[in-house]
Amino acid sequence: MGAKCLFAVLAVKGWRHILSGRLRAAHRCGGSIPYLLVPILLGRLLWAQFSGGEARVVFPVKSVSERKALQEAGVADGYCVLGAEDSCLYYFKGGRWYRLCGECDPPPAPVRIDSLSSVFSDLLVHWSGEPLRPGEKVQMLLLPDSLLIEGETPVLYAALPHGGYYTVLLRRKGECGFSPWYRKDSVRVSYKACPPALWGGRSIEVVGVGGACWATMDWEGPHTLAALRGKDGTLYFSSRRLAQIKAALPEGWRLPTIAEAEKLLSAINFVPERLSRFAPSKKGAYAPATKEWIGVGTASVYLLDTPDYALVINPLGGMVAPLEGKEIYARIRLLRQ
C-alpha cells in the first residue's frame, strides 16, 4: 500500500506540474493541446493501483529522426510516442510535435554581465545572452542595499543612494522560473552629489555625469540675448554670439565642451528614461540662412562652447553634430563649473 500511495502522490504532483507549467507554455506556442490527455492516463493508472487491478499504457519509442520522418509522412493528429533521448511524451498536433514533460520547458536561459560603468550618479549594467522571449525580463539585485531592478533592454540602470562597493547579481525571469544568478563582486560605484540650482526663483534638478554636474532643464537666458523667439515664447540663441552668451551665464555655470557632451551621450544613449530627461522640450533649432526649422517636435538642439558643433538629443539617442560653418539658433543646456 505504501508503494501505491507514493505512486499516487507522485502522479498527482506530476499532473499538477504539467497542467500549470509545460502544457500552458506549449499552448501559447501554437496548436490545441489536449490538456486532459495526461491526467486521464494518470487517472487510469491510479485507479488500477488502488482497485488492485492492472492497467498499462504502452507508447512506441521514437528518436528525433524517427519523429521527423513520421511528421514528414503525415502522421495523424493525436499520435503519441516516447522520446528515445529523454523518455518524455510527445504528442502530434497541427503539423508539429509537442513535448509533454513534467518540467517547465525550456527553462530561462542564463545571462551574463558584459560590462559595468558608474556614471550619472548611478550604475549601468550591460548584459548579454539569448534574446528575451515574450514575458521574460532580466532582474538585477544590488547588495548590500537589496535594490531589485527589472528591465527588458540590453542595459539596466539603477539610481544609487550612495557610492561604494556593491555586489551585482543578474538573472533572467520567465514563466518557467529563473535562470541561475550571475554574480560579480566588489563593483565600485562612483557618486557625485550635485545640489539643485536656483534660477530665477525656480529650483532645477542637477545630475552628475562624467565628473560634471548637468542641469536637467534649459537655461532661458535674458531675452535681450535671444536671436529668435518661437511662437510659443521659446528663446533661441545664436551660435555666432557665444562670447556674449558666456558673459551673461549664471555665476558658476558654463557651456559644455565637445568632450563633456560626448561623455553625457555615453551615459544617456539607449536609455530612454535618461534621454527624456535631457530632451524634454524637443524644441529643435532654426537655420537663419535657409529660414528653416530643424528637428522641431523630435529633437533638442543645444549650443556648445564652440561655434562649429552642436549637441543634438532625441528620444532614440544623441550626437555631437558639426555645423560646417553655418549659424544656427538653438537652446542652451549648462553644466556647473
The full set of domain ranges for the chain reads 2-100, 111-189, 197-336
Please give the CATH architecture assigned to the domain spanning 111-189: Sandwich (2.60)
- Tracing cell 515574450 back to the chain, one arrives at 134
Residue 337 grid cell: 563649473
CA 61/CA 42 separation, integer angstroms: 19
CB 284 within 8 A of CB 301: yes
- Model-level pTM greater than 0.85? no
pLDDT of residue 133: 83
pLDDT of residue 211: 72
* 3-class DSSP state of 177: strand
CB 106 within 8 A of CB 137: no
pLDDT of residue 121: 59
- For residue 298, give every residue at least 6 positions away whose Cβ sits within 8 Å of its Cβ, in sequence order, or none: 282, 284, 314, 315
CA 11/CA 103 separation, integer angstroms: 13
CA 66/CA 97 separation, integer angstroms: 12
169, 174, 179, 183: CA torsion to nearest 10: -10
**SS3 labels along 52-89:** CCCCCCCCCEECHHHHHHHHHCCCCCCCEEEECCCCCE
CB 226 within 8 A of CB 274: no
19 phi and psi, to 5 degrees? -65, -40
State the distance between the two ends of the chain, measured CA to CA, in whole angstroms.
82
pLDDT of residue 119: 59
pLDDT by residue for the chain (337 residues), tens only, comes to: 333 333 333 333 343 343 333 333 333 333 344 444 544 444 444 444 444 555 567 889 999 999 999 999 999 998 999 988 878 888 898 888 887 776 566 678 899 999 887 655 567 788 999 888 888 999 999 898 888 989 888 888 776 766 778 899 999 998 778 899 999 998 887 666 778 888 878 888 888 776 788 888 888 888 889 999 988 888 999 999 999 999 999 889 999 999 999 988 887 777 776 777 776 678 889 999 999 998 888 888 999 999 999 999 887 788 999 999 999 999 999 998 7
pLDDT of residue 6: 31
